[in-house]
Structure 1
């Protein structure tokens, strides 16, 4: 037996996200090419590191865009859930790349500390300013839905951190131009890398939990079991599994022992009441309940399958 509460606005939201992601991809391709050329000419590690991060933005945005398209594909006999997990997987990949790139930037920054080089600051200033404008526009496009969708949030974080990196590069360019402080290039690169790790870790952890079918942090198994057992007909709730399929769906499956050998129609009525209570109190919108009476099986709340 199961129950589902639908969300009709999701298809429109996915189309809106897809368009914004595509625009952001084009903007970041232009920025990346400009920064690579400018970084080579100027000799700025910060500008090249910013270009590298912009390139990963392009990759991450393409991954997010593909995931956004896949999630709309219908379920089939071979894929009974369709591609509902595509966006979570994209978020995990993008968060992981944030951290990997941050480590590489730290290594490069440390090496440059010992070999500071004079940098063409004017080019750094102009290109970082262009990058701020381009990434700033992309950030505004994705900001609205970033809190509701891990995939969009991962793309948003890539763009937001890159915009901040460009701000840091701009400040560094101004300091180098007027004060000839060449080592500031390495310092800013190091600061950018640390910021990436901080921003990426939380998203990596949350997407990992969803992929591993962990119980959502906001959901208490003990409370749910206790609430279901308040129904007079229910004797015991056991063999409970709760997991988050994607941004919109939390699933619960459980075995319920009944005090009496009730009819199927009686079970349907009780199940409907349980589903409504669980949905409104815990926002769990998919339930699969196995009714039992007098069955000899493990009665533990959590049973290792």
Structure 2
């Protein structure tokens, strides 16, 4: 795994060109939504990020299909499932997207909101259909062969600890602070592990597992399916482990999943969620442990982004002169 700091992405091949498009899309979304930081308007921030990202994606070479977008479960502005973007002059590719991940963080000016997107070869991203929520486990490469969503939390902790050469008491676990996780958090704490419980930020929490410097050993719990697919793109690119299973939070959602002929019991591996080459990009909106917020100095805007692709994590600082 390599870490690089660059002013701009390389664009000598198709993949680098698409990386450049993705970086432009998240940067513009981050800058647009940053204007809404601390204004207590989640939909306003989401709409600004979505409009900026859609405009950037219109210039993408080729034909991009939004396989999984964010917004339907929250009645929020969105890039919708099945939407086609790009010039049409180039390769077909899949898109998984959340223009503003952590909308509540942005609205309340709490660190951790991100503009996020993932690209993959056409036909690569799994589509959850009417499933909005997913139970998941995310671990780094050392523990990828020991996880099982059917295991109780205590057994998962023991297996991951052994794979990492640690005691359970040395583990640090990421679980979102949601009412649905109250019992799960209590069980993990009773087992002896330390728990970090952000109010949201599903993708950011998963990335913390993949970046060694952030010292998180695993993520467990129920989060969004768009976030799950984007997370899988990053996990696959870095050789980590991930399992997911649809976890509807309402009866209507469960009924719609069954009506679509999908199973509520099937466990999907990372390679099933993302079956081919893919990369993930995030740009910081209001700062946090992953990437910093946009910064403006007179006619200059500086953004920070994270690009995860083909075994590399690249931290990219980009300067735009107006």
Could you state the TM-score of these two structures normalised by the residue count of structure 1?
A: 0.23
- Higher gyration radius (CA): 1
